[in-house]
A and B are shown apart, each in its own frame.
Chain A
Amino acid sequence: MSGIYRFRAVHRFALATSACTVLLLMAGALVTSNDAADSVPDWPLAYGKIIPPLIGGIRYEFTHRVVAGLVAILTLVLAIWLARDDTRRWARRLGWTALALVVAQALLGALRVLEGHPAVTATSHAILAQLFFITVVSLSLFTSEWWQVDVPPMDDSGSPGLRRLAAWTTAVIFAQLILGAAFRHGAFGIAPHIVGAGVVTVMVVWTGRAAKKRFARIPAIRRSVIWLHATFGTQILLGGAAYWAILASRDAPQPGLTYVILSVAHVLVGALTLAASVLLTLICFRLVRPAESLAADSTVAHSQAGGR
C-alpha cells in the first residue's frame, strides 16, 4: 500500500460541488417543466436588472441562473485548488476541463435565451449539463481516500470483460439521456427514447450480473452495482409515470404539479443513473485488469510452456 491521502478537504469540496450540481440540474428541469424557459428575454441581466420581478415563470428561470452562478464559482475554486495541490497532472487538467464545461454551459444558456431554437440550444444545454455533472462526480472519486490507495488489479476471466461492459453501459445511458433531452425539447418524438430504455435495461442487467458473478466480494464494485440498479430501477418507473403525466395533462391549461414533479424527478434520477454507471466504470478500470492483458499473459505462459 502506498500513497498518503492528502485530499480530504478538496474531496469534500468536490462532493459539495457535485451536490450543488444536482440542485442545478433540478433547477434547470423546473424551468423546462414549468414552461418558463423564455420567461426572461435577456442575458446576463434579467429584464435589464440584476434581480428581476420574481413572478410566475421568472422565479424558475432566475433561480436557475443563481444556482448556475454558484456552481460556476465552486467549480472555479475546485479547479484552482486542484491546480495548486494535486500532483497528478491529469487531475489538474480535469479540474480545468470542468471549469471550461461550466463556462460553455453558461454560454449555451445565453444562446438559448437570446436566440431561441430550443430543439438545438436547449437539447445541447441539457447534454452538456450531464457531461459537466459526471466530470465533477469523477473528480469527487479521484480525490477520495479510496482512490489514493494502490491496489493490485484483479483478473477478469469473463468475456466480455467487466471494464468493457461497464463502459458500454455508461455509453448507452448517456445516449439515452441525449434522446430524452431531444424529446423534452422538441427535437423529435418519444419512440427513440423508449427503444433506448430497452437497450439500457439489457446493458444494466448484463453488467450487474457479470459484476455479481465475478466480483461479488469486492465492496466497491458491489456497492456501485447496487446503486446503479437502484437508480435505474427508479428511473424506469419514473419514466412511465412521467409519460403518463404528459398524456394526462395534454389538455391542461398549464403544467400541473404532478407532471412537474414526475418530469423533474425523471431528469434528476437519469443524471444519478449516469453518475452511478460512470463511477462503476471508473472503479472497474481501477480494480480490474484489462481482459487483453490477461489474454497476453496466457499467450506468453503457453509459449513458455511450449518452449521447454
Chain B
Amino acid sequence: MKTRLLHLALVAAVAIAFTSCGGNKSSESSEQPAAPAATGAAVDATTAGSVTGTITLDGKAPAAKPINMSAEPYCQKAHSSPVIPPEVVTGEGGALANVVVYVKDDMSKYSFPAPSQSVPLNQQGCMYDPHVVALMAGQTLEVKNDDQTTHNIHPMPKDNREWNKSQPPGASPIDDSFARAEMAIPVKCNVHPWMKSYIFVFKNPYFAVTTKDGKFELSNLPPGTYTIEAWQEKYGVQDQTVTIGPKESKAVSFTFKASGPSGD
C-alpha cells in the first residue's frame, strides 16, 4: 500500500513539475517563409510630410558598473579609462542616444525597395559601434573588425535566420541581411561576453536611431495619422499618435523617466 502511494506521489510530483514548464525562454528561431514583397504604390513626394522630435531622459540614470575587459589584454589596453556599458547614453540637456523611433503602423500599401547601400556595424576597442543599428529587410549589414583580435558576431533573432560568424583581425567585412522585419535582435560576441548590440529590421524606411543630440526625423511620410513608437533598451517603449497633412512637418517629443521600468 505504502509503495503504491509512493509511486503515485512521485508520478504526481513529476506531472506537476512538467505542467509548470513555462515558455518564457525562447531560444529557437522558427524559419517562416518571408512575406511576399509588397507591390504597393510609391509614396507621392509632392504631398509627403515629416515627423521630427527629440528624445530626452528625465532624471539621472543609475550609475552602471564598468565593463571588466581583463579577459583580453588587447581590449583592456584599447581604453585609457573604464568603459561603461552603453545601455543609457545621454548628451546635453538629458538628450537620449540609441533610441529607435519608428512608425508602428502597417505601411504595406506602399512599396519600399531595400536601399542598396549597406549599414555598418563596426567592432572597435572590443565594443560594437553603433550600439543600436536599424536597417530595412533585405538591406545589407556590413560588419567590420577594426581590432587586432578575433571577434565573433552572433545575432540571435526569433523571426530571422540565426548566424554566428567569426572574424579574425584583418578579415574582410562580413555582409549579411535579414529577410523579415524584427525588433531588437540581440547581437553578442561569444569571445568577449560584454559586447552587445541590437539590430532593428523594418519593412519601410520610417525609422531613425538617435545620437547624443537625441534628435530624430522621419521624412517622406504620406499624409495620415500615425503611431510613432520610441524604443529604449532599458526604459522600454512609448507611443504617440500624430496626424500630418500634405507637406506638413510635426514635432513630437518623448521623455523617458530614469526611474521607469527596465526595457526588457
Contact = CB atoms under 8 A, between A and B. Distances in A.
Contacts of B192: 56-57
Nearest to B192: A56
Interface stretch (B23-31, B102-110, B200-208): B23-31
B80 interface: no
A117 interface: yes
A55 B85 CA distance: 21
A253 B3 contact: no
A41 B188 contact: no
Interface stretch (B49-57, B161-169, B240-248): B161-169
Interface in B1-45: 2-3, 6, 10, 13-14, 16-18, 20-28
Contacts of A37: 190
A63 interface: no
Interface in B138-197: 149-150, 152, 154, 162, 164-166, 168, 188-194, 196
Contact of A192 (B21, B28, B87, B190): B21
Interface size on A, as a range, is 35 or more
Contacts of A24: none
Interface string A7-49: 0000000000000000000000000001111110100000100
A119 to B, nearest CB: 5
B27 A199 contact: no
Contacts of B191: 36, 39, 55-58
A55 B21 CA distance: 37
A41 B151 CA distance: 11
B10 A254 contact: no
Report which residue of A58, A119, A198 has the largest number of chain B beta carbons within 10 angstroms of its beta carbon.
A58
Nearest to A37: B190
A199 B190 contact: no
A199 B17 contact: yes
**Binding site of B, secondary structure by majority: helix, strand, loop or mixed?**
loop
Interface string B51-69: 0000000000000110110
Nearest to A47: B166
A57 B87 CA distance: 22
Interface stretch (A136-144, A182-190, A282-290): A182-190
A189 B3 contact: no
Given A55-B191, A119-B27, A251-B262, A199 B13 contact: yes
A37 B71 CA distance: 16
A186 B25 contact: yes
A192 B6 contact: no
Contacts of B162: 116
Contacts of A196: 13, 17
Contacts of A34: 193
A39 B152 contact: yes
A160 B85 CA distance: 57
B5 to A, nearest CB: 9
B188 A195 contact: no
Contacts of A47: 150, 166, 168
Given A191-B20, A254-B194, A172 B72 contact: no
Q: Which 9 A-B pairs have the closest CB atoms?
A: A189-B22, A186-B27, A39-B190, A56-B191, A254-B194, A38-B190, A253-B85, A191-B20, A199-B13
Interface of B: 2-3, 6, 10, 13-14, 16-18, 20-28, 64-65, 67-68, 71-72, 74, 85, 87, 149-150, 152, 154, 162, 164-166, 168, 188-194, 196, 262
Interface of A: 34-39, 41, 47, 53, 55-59, 116-120, 159-160, 164-165, 168, 171-172, 175, 179, 183, 185-189, 191-192, 195-196, 198-199, 203, 251-255
9 contacts: A35-B193, A57-B192, A59-B71, A119-B25, A160-B6, A188-B24, A191-B21, A192-B21, A196-B17
